[in-house]
Amino acid sequence: MNEIQTVPLSILVIDDEPLARRRLLRLLGAMPAVEVVGTAGNVQQACSMVAELTPDAILLDIQMPGGTGFDVLERLGDHAPAVVFVTAFDHYALRAFEAAAVDYVTKPIESDRLRTAIERARVAIAARTSAERVLELNETVTVLRKALRKQETQAGDLWIKSRGEFVRITLDRVVRFQAERDYVRIHVEGRSYLHHESLASLERRLDPAEFLRLHRSSIVRRDCIVGLKQAPFAALIALLSDGSEIRIGRTYARHIRPMTGERSQPD
């Protein structure tokens, strides 16, 4: 056992949050026989650095710009480092981690728990070949995707990454969703959260009886619409309960005009 513990371990830290990366670097720096070979903040950078540096192990966040930690795993190819996930997901995901042969640490990260995970990575590297780890990771990705999808849709909840943690948002608190490039800003009771998902993808998971698309970049909760007003060129503007105003796109006006008793305008 002592021989395994003293084997030098090269580690790549993959996390999109600078504060989380700094904490990991500080904790790893206090551990013996650990060498941090680099840090990455997004999926593309992570994949390039894994291929270039071939680290023994990676500390991998799940949600990042440009994809997820699962996307990194699926692109590892024949070289599979030992993987320690860094996560803030609740017990649904944790059961999936425990069922698979991959360790995890939860945020906020504790020194002793991280040390245990690193030692487990050492044992995994010593006990299994790279090919065996590839098969293991493929099984892990499948299990985790199912678990996190179940968690995300349970009881109509959304899990939003905010300041290094995941916040549960129930859909009955949401006023509106606003597209911001590859992200969606979720407006909830005077606050907003940036969620890494396209508006089109999110819309597929929403109940159309509760949510209405008003514009190519906006979806609102139906019972948050408190009024409508006329805009130039026969357009409509929806007035929402949070005081915001959403211009209704012509394509979507036909779905809201019946609320006013008007007939839909022809295209």
User: Rounded CA gap, 38 and 12, in Å?
Assistant: 5
Judged against a pLDDT cut of 90, whether residue 3 lies above it is answered with: no
pLDDT digits (tens, 9 = 90+) for 89-109: 654 455 545 544 457 787 778
In degrees to the nearest 10, what's the CA dihedral of 50, 52, 57, 60?
Answer: -30
Which residues 6+ apart lie within 8 Å of 263 measured at CB? 257
pLDDT for the residue 1? 43
Domain housing 204: 164-260
| CATH code, domain with 49 | 3.40.50.2300
**Structure tokens that stand for 65 in this block:** 């710009």
Q: Residues 129, 196: one domain?
A: no
pLDDT digits (tens, 9 = 90+) for 58-78: 998 877 777 778 788 878 766
Half-sphere exposure of residue 210, counting CA atoms within 13 Å on the CB side? 14
Q: How far is CA 224 from the centre of its chain?
A: 27
Q: What region does 33 belong to: left with phi over 0, alpha with psi -120 to 50, or beta?
A: left
Q: Residues 19, 124: one domain?
A: yes
Which of 125, 153, 181 corresponds to the end of one domain?
Answer: 153
| CATH code, domain with 189 | 2.40.50.1020
